[in-house]
Amino acid sequence: MKFLDGAPRFLFFTGKGGVGKTSIACATAITLAGRGRKVLLVSTDPASNVGQVFGLSIGNTITPIPAVDGLSALEIDPEQAADAYRERIIGPVRGLLPDAEVASITEQLSGSCTTEIASFNEFTELLTDSGGQIGEFDHVLFDTAPTGHTIRLLQLPGSWTDFLNDGKGDASCLGPLAGLEKQRTVYAEAVAALADPQRTRVVLVARAQKSTLAEIARTHRELASIGLARQFVIINGVLPSPADDDDLLAAAIHRREQRAITSMPDELRSLPIDQVELKPSNIVGLTAIVSLFTSNTIVSDRPAQSDLDPPYAPLATLVDEIASAEHGLIMCMGKGGVGKTTVAAAVAVALADRGHDVHLTTTDPAGHLTETLEGSLPNLQVSSIDPAEATRVYRDHVLATKGAALDEQGRATLAEDLRSPCTEEVAVFQAFSRVISESRRKFVVVDTAPTGHTLLLLDATGSYHREIARQLGSRHFTTPLMRLQDRELTKVVIVTLAETTPVLEAAGLQSELERAGIHPWAWVINNSLAAANPSAPLLRQRALAELPEIARVRSEYADRIAVVPLLATEPVGIPALEALTGAGQQQDA
């Protein structure tokens, strides 16, 4: 593997959600530990599953992996980090300030922006601790969150350095600025470590798909612009050339992947590139991880045609039930890379085809609805909640309203406060709230961001609800959270894959939603090989492994289920999306 040659101390693995960053990071950690190096594997992903890969609980402390000498792991848990961060700020003043003022500070520190800053502080400590516990490790590997969150995280050292240098800003999420002044040196050191190719290497992970390769091309440009120029590419899960063309699905997938690889952007082609073959089983457990970087995997000939009973649960059945309500909010949620955008677009197109007024939107910073649709329908509105645009609109509105009566110095102070990165959280939340309100008169289909980001957005929704309830008391009101909790109005659709880790993560998402009083309406298992009924041995072995996961979803988690087969061609464009919700070929259940 080229990316392992002369590996520096810090390695970052980034890319679109669902491409296998965690598996690649874990396999890299094991490989380096096998060379006698002392390795720390760190996850900065709010939806981390490093612990699931190794079959043990890791959490927010450095945890040795017993099965691998020299390897330890750490998961930066956003909520734990936020709790500790809040206590560092509030603890010293508790008992010194009036209770009401302490309560006010606590409320100011309850938002998702505080969670991000707290995670960022732990992140910078890992980059700059050369003499403490972290200094004992030869390599520190970062299994990062999906692309949008990763870019934000990597920009923060520079952003917050500029923020502290340029003005006093807004202490509502950062805490007392006097306590942050001492962080200037740490932030500067973090920026230097990120930009130094002798210390840091970025590994862009993709699948052999046009969309994920385009995503890492964008990531390449964005990271290079903030000084992280030393980059490598891994194309994961590449289907080996089929032994024959008897399986039309396998042959079509192989041709599609090879076309995507040969036509990748030139800026990626100039980087060192490794390919990792698709394996016959899911990459869960130490044995599977160790085999990830090997090729010519032996595939069992055992799967026979009679072994596989393809599941039949068409997406059209869910659309029929949704359409009967005449209006409502449909939110497609799940881990990045499971196909939320495709499912959301297919549902929206099907509803529009039936004559309904539909608004299809995305809260995913890396979402690309227009690329999936490749067209338009008369009664289908398509939009994106763009964080930068939402923030600009919010700033302009605040300056035009609250700032109208201020003098020049007051407006300058307000403008300075609005330059805080925390403003984005408020702006995106308001845009999200406006979209939700439309569902009272039309269908609104939301393609959400990857799980961790979505939960932070819902957390902001809950905080707003609690504040409104406190202010209005017994008076009648309706908040966005109340609309999300309304089963008659809102249908949450969890999208996943028929694999162990995605199902576990989807179950975790369902648990989080239910704690917020939001019960998922249906599950969609996307890109199912079992539903496609392949004949090639490697694909058939993977298809057989899906059946227990599909049965588990039916019996343990989902009130309703749809299983969407893996297709020979990617479902891009309105005709292909319409085909996903067509009647299809009837099969026995």
**Annotated catalytic residue 20:** yes
5-to-62, 120, 232 alpha-carbon distances in Å = 26, 29, 11
Q: How confident is the model at residue 13 (pLDDT cuts 50, 70, 90)?
A: very high
Measure Cα distances from 60 to 256, 508, 513 in Å.
41, 18, 23
Give tens-digit pLDDT for 517-538.
889 999 999 999 999 999 888 9
Q: Where do the H-state alpha helices sit in 489-559?
A: 500-515, 529-532, 537-552
Same domain, 455 and 331: yes
User: Of 95-99, 160-164, 265-269, 392-396, where does mean pLDDT reach its minimum?
Assistant: 160-164
| pLDDT for the residue numbered 68 | 93
Mapped onto helix, strand or coil, the DSSP state of residue 351 is helix
Q: Can 340 be counted among the known catalytic residues?
A: no
Q: Which CATH number is 19's domain given? A: 3.40.50.300
Domain co-membership, 244 together with 356: no
Residue 363, domain member (yes or no)? yes
Predicted confidence (pLDDT) at residue 583 exceeds the cutoff of 60: no
pLDDT single digits (tens) 14-44: 887 778 888 999 999 999 999 999 999 998 7
Q: What digits encode the pLDDT tens for the residues 153-179?
A: 556 666 656 665 655 444 444 444 444
Q: Is 396 an annotated catalytic residue?
A: no
- pLDDT number for residue 207: 92
Active-site option among 16, 31, 43, 45: 45
**Residue of 14, 16, 17, 22 marked catalytic:** 22
Residues 153 and 278 in one domain: yes
Q: At what angle do helices 147-166 and 112-128 cross, to 10 degrees?
A: 90
CB-neighbour burial class of residue 461 (10 A; exposed 0-12, middle 13-18, buried 19+): buried
Computed over every residue of the chain, the mean pLDDT equals 81
Residues 378 and 520 in one domain: yes
Tokens 């520079």 found at: 158
Give the active site residue among 14, 15, 17, 21. 21
Tell me what pLDDT residue 172 has.
44
Do 308 and 469 touch, CB atoms closer than 8 A?
no
Residue 295 lies in a domain: no
Six-digit token pair at 506?
């989807």
- The answer to whether residue 15 sits within a structural domain is yes
Could you tell me which residue, 292 or 56, shows the higher pLDDT?
292
Asked if pLDDT for residue 115 goes beyond 80, the answer is no
**Same domain (yes/no): 518, 390:** yes
Interval 121-142 mean pLDDT: 85
Residue 274 falls within a domain, yes or no?
A: yes
DSSP, collapsed to helix, strand or coil, labels residue 476 as coil
Annotated active-site residue in 17, 18, 175, 452: 18
Are both 285 and 433 inside the same structural domain? no
Within a domain: residue 589? no
- Section 263-289 average pLDDT: 88
585 lies in some domain: no
Phi, psi angles (nearest 5°) of residue 231: -125, 150
**Residue 302 located in a structural domain:** no
* Domain identity same for 240 and 382: no
Q: Are residues 229 and 338 in the same domain?
A: no
Q: Residues with Cβ < 8 Å from 90, sequence gap 6 or more?
A: 102, 105, 106, 109
Catalytic, 22? Answer: yes
Planar angle of CA 479, 484, 487, nearest 5 degrees: 125
- Residues 554 and 493 reside in one and the same domain: yes
Residue 196 predicted with pLDDT over 60: yes
Among residues 17, 20, 111, 403, the one annotated as catalytic is 20
3-state class (DSSP) for residue 141: strand
Q: What are phi and psi of 302, to 5 degrees?
A: -60, -40
240 and 351, same domain (yes or no): no
Question: Which domain does 345 fall in, by range?
Answer: 315-580
Same domain, 155 and 34: yes
Strand pairing category for 273-277 and 231-238: parallel
What is the number of domains present in the chain? 2
Query: Do 425 and 552 share a structural domain?
Result: yes
| Last residue within a domain, chosen from 275, 290, 305 | 290
Q: Is 59 a catalytic residue?
A: no
**Which among 290, 323, 339 is the end of a domain?**
290
What was the pLDDT predicted at 144? 79
The answer to whether residue 272 sits within a structural domain is yes
Last residue of a domain, one of 290, 325, 351: 290
| pLDDT at site 150 | 54
Query: What confidence score (pLDDT) does residue 132 get?
Result: 78
Catalytic residue among 15, 16, 23, 341: 23
Q: What is the mean pLDDT of residues 281-289?
A: 78
Radius of gyration of the chain from its Cα atoms, rounded to whole angstroms: 24
